[in-house]
Amino acid sequence: MTSSPSGRRAPRGSLSAAATRRVERPAPLRQAVYDALLELIVNRTLAPGQHLVEAELAEYLGVSRQPVREALQRLQTDGWVDLRPAQGAFVHTPTEEEADQLLAVRSVLETYSAKLAAEHATASDVKLLRKLQKAGEEALVTANVERLVKANADLHAAVAEISRNKVLAEMIGLVDRRVRWYYTPIARPRSRDSWNEHAELVAAIAEGDADRAGEVMHRHAEQTRQTYHDRKAPESSTDSD
């Protein structure tokens, strides 16, 4: 939006170094556009298969085509849209096969992530996990789907973070977001079990038991995968939460 240059003055050397938190960078417009489009895709405003016309998006977002183009191309490499050579961008249509493949890869990555997390977790890490676990269980009580999804994502992201492998964490982030996109419409039924498994996982990490953490996470991921397959049969029209 309007990023008015509100007198951001470069601090002189006289300022305390600790407080000199790198002032927010001009925030590249393409990033904002990327976020906006991703949000529109994830919440189904832009339907799978839909043709995305650069000019339309540009006008809708109030920017020129250039940032839109750049955002679309990054969306492609991240698997959200298909960019056909001289034809433009289409919202990616997830196939059953692809969903399963993503879930399989996720399972492998998350299992490894859990193992590493158990090896590296500090006391404060465990504290954070317990906090997230609690937040998830609270969301479970209120049956707020949106909060549940976020709590789930936060916990998994935290585990990935604690694994101390940035490359791994980044990959998990990408895969998880796409899995969530496919999975959200049917996320409700498994929530209870899912959080019980999470609790088990946190316990294993707290004990520093890598093998057990990996095993629990593997079971958790495969369970999710199974649930996806079981649920896939009934074509749900609109699930309201």
Partner DNA sequence: GAAGTGCTTTTTGTATGCGAAAAGCTGTAT
Partner DNA sequence: ATACAGCTTTTCGCATACAAAAAGCACTTC
Whether 208 and 118 have beta carbons less than 8 Å apart is answered as yes
Residue 18 identity: A
Count of Cβ atoms closer than 10 Å to residue 194 Cβ:
19
Instruction: Select the residue interacting with a copy of itself from 43, 101, 196, 226 (CB under 8 A).
Output: 101
What gap in Å lies between CA 120 and CA 87, rounded to an integer?
48
How many of the chain's residues bind a copy of itself (CB under 8 A)? 35
Which positions touch DNA (CB under 7 A)? 5, 10, 12, 25-26, 28-30, 51-55, 63-67, 69-70, 83, 85-89
With respect to a copy of itself, which residue has the nearer C-beta, 132 or 172? 172
In the complex, minimum distance from the CB of residue 66 to DNA, in angstroms, rounded to a whole number:
4
Three-state secondary structure call for residue 37: helix
| Element (DSSP H or E) covering residue 91 | strand 88-91
Site membership for a copy of itself, residue 74 (CB under 8 A)? yes
Residue 228 identity: Y
Q: Which of DNA, a copy of itself, none binds 108 (CB below 5-8 Å, type-dependent)?
A: a copy of itself
| Element (DSSP H or E) covering residue 51 | strand 51-52
In the complex, minimum distance from the CB of residue 177 to DNA, in angstroms, rounded to a whole number:
23
In DSSP notation, 92-117 reads ----HHHHHHHHHHHHHHHHHHHHHH
Q: Which stretch binds a copy of itself (CB under 8 A): 65-73, 126-134, 145-153, 181-189?
A: 65-73
In the complex, minimum distance from the CB of residue 47 to a copy of itself, in angstroms, rounded to a whole number:
12
Site membership for a copy of itself, residue 64 (CB under 8 A)? no
Q: Which of DNA, a copy of itself, none binds 29 (CB below 5-8 Å, type-dependent)?
A: DNA
